[in-house]
Amino acid sequence: MNELDALFARMGFPALAEAQLVELGVAGGLAVFALATSWLVGKRIGPRLADWLHGQDLGARGPLTERAGAMLGWIAALLIVGLAGALWPWHPYALLLLNLLFALGVAALARHLLIGVGLGDGAALAGAFVALVVMMSRAVGGLELLQERLDAFGFSIGDRHFSLLTVVNLLVTVVILFTLVRLATRVLRRTIRGSERFDPTQRLLIEKISAVLIVVAAFFVGIDILGIDLTAFAVFSGALGLAIGFGLQKTVGNLIAGIILLMDRSIKPGDVIAVGDSFGWVNKIGVRAVSVITREGKEHLIPNEILMTQEVENWSYSSRTVRVSIAVGVAYDTDLRLAQQLMIEAAKEAKRVLPDPAPVCWITGFGDSSVDHEVRFWITDPEAGIGNIKGDVFLRIWDKFQAAGIEIPYPQRDLHVRAMPETATKAAKATKAKS
């Protein structure tokens, strides 16, 4: 018996001379078929899955969406290899070939998943390597031996034993649960946003609550898998409560305020609001803050608690219709009725001005040099800006006034001089004498 046969014998395999080449060839053909199916599924069905995951309202495609085709292809290959290995009593070497392909498929799928959920290339390669080692050890029957070796490096504290196996189990559990949470959140968000039974605010509220529930469920599942006794945290519950009460009170307050904002629907994504010096439309309501985008393109992150405790102007709370007013002055010798008619016509001709309610023009007072008017009109898209619509109406009024010969007067002032200063009087006399 040569060294290779001795190695396979220690792993429970017969000698290489006893390998059934025909069955090994069939297994190899199944492996090639599984790889070809993986490539075909990734190319044909993968883009459709990516489109479904992406949707029309989830923003730019991320790494998870881009790798959906490759992941689906490897899942198809694993199903073929797994079913083939389970439905037929293969010779050990043919089964070894299928198991090795299965291990490679699991490692590739793990790498794509970890990159897709945002863990980075380094963590993805490490996770794929661990998955490959575990699955290959299982294929050659050395998984129990690997566990024993890892468990041998450790120490005990009371009834608890800590070893390298504990660390590996902890890391693997955390990575798997993190990946499942990201996938579940993504699929749930796509499903909720595709539903027409809820308005945008209800969808956002369901998303936030569902995300919190998924994380809490994953935490308790991880605790159960790792076998951690929850009573061990009783000692730290008081310190945790103090930390939340003192250090995290703003964070918890913003979280609760955000949930309340979504529940009472006083502020919704798309609303035009004014808070202090910030004016713009609500882009999204997050766990900590509300994103408000101004007309300058700046994004203000306003803590949720401020929106609950300070005065907020919501221009689109019950209705998106907003009235805009502009002040115009005309000369005293102007035909006021004609000027008012021209100002109303100018407002009506602006594209964003609503025909109903119709624009109106009123005299607001008699100024020092002009008769003051106020033109009032309504718009339904305040998020498109207020200054630009005012400028449009002003320009149209200017054109109509120029065509009709209506003057917009300059300020007039009367200057009365009671006495000339002595120096000015002497200078005037000297100038007169020279002339």
Domain with residue 395: its CATH number is 3.30.70.100
- Specify whether 306 is located in the same domain as 329: no
204 occurs within a structural domain: no
**Domain termination site, one of 106, 125, 152:** 152
- Specify whether 268 is located in the same domain as 382: no
Q: How far apart are CA 61 and CA 327, in angstroms?
A: 48
- Specify whether 309 is located in the same domain as 330: no
- Specify whether 262 is located in the same domain as 382: no
Nearest to 325 by CA among 300, 355, 294, 347: 347
Q: Residue 308: which residues within 8 A CB-CB, separation 6 or more? A: 257, 260, 261
Q: Which is higher by pLDDT, 339 or 195?
A: 339
57 occurs within a structural domain: yes
Mean pLDDT of 363-367: 91
> What single letter denotes the amino acid at residue 180?
L
- Specify whether 19 is located in the same domain as 136: yes
pLDDT at 142: 56
Dihedral of CA atoms 274, 276, 278, 279 in degrees, nearest 10, equals 20
Q: Look-up: residue for tokens 């209705």?
A: 319
Q: Which residue range forms the structural domain that includes residue 107?
A: 3-152
Beta bridge partners of 278: 275
Q: Residue 264: which CATH number?
A: 2.30.30.60
- Specify whether 144 is located in the same domain as 16: yes
Give me the number of domains the chain comprises: 3
181 occurs within a structural domain: no
**Domain termination site, one of 94, 122, 152:** 152
**Domain termination site, one of 296, 314, 332:** 314
Task: Tell me which of 69-78, 169-178, 239-248 is least confident.
Answer: 239-248
- pLDDT(295) > 90: no
Q: With 0-12 CB in 10 A as exposed, 13-18 as middle and 19+ as buried, what is 39?
A: middle
Diameter of the chain measured on Cα atoms: 138
- Specify whether 258 is located in the same domain as 145: no
Nearest to 279 by CA among 304, 300, 261, 258: 300
230 occurs within a structural domain: no
- Specify whether 45 is located in the same domain as 115: yes
For 179, the 3-state DSSP assignment is helix
Nearest to 257 by CA among 295, 303, 318: 303
Do 265 and 200 contact (CB within 8 A), yes or no?
no
- pLDDT(323) > 70: yes
Q: With 0-12 CB in 10 A as exposed, 13-18 as middle and 19+ as buried, what is 258?
A: buried
266 occurs within a structural domain: yes
pLDDT at 294: 83
Do 245 and 221 contact (CB within 8 A), yes or no?
no
386 occurs within a structural domain: yes
41 occurs within a structural domain: yes
187 occurs within a structural domain: no
Q: Which is higher by pLDDT, 2 or 191?
A: 191
Nearest to 301 by CA among 269, 272, 278, 317: 278
- Specify whether 19 is located in the same domain as 70: yes
Q: Look-up: residue for tokens 């060839």?
A: 25
pLDDT at 179: 76
- Specify whether 148 is located in the same domain as 34: yes
Q: How far apart are CA 307 and CA 254, in angstroms?
A: 10
Give the pLDDT confidence of 369-417 residue by residue, as tens digits.
Answer: 899 999 999 998 887 888 889 999 999 999 999 999 998 887 766 666 6
- Specify whether 268 is located in the same domain as 385: no
Do 283 and 299 contact (CB within 8 A), yes or no?
yes
- Specify whether 26 is located in the same domain as 99: yes
> What single letter denotes the amino acid at residue 205?
L
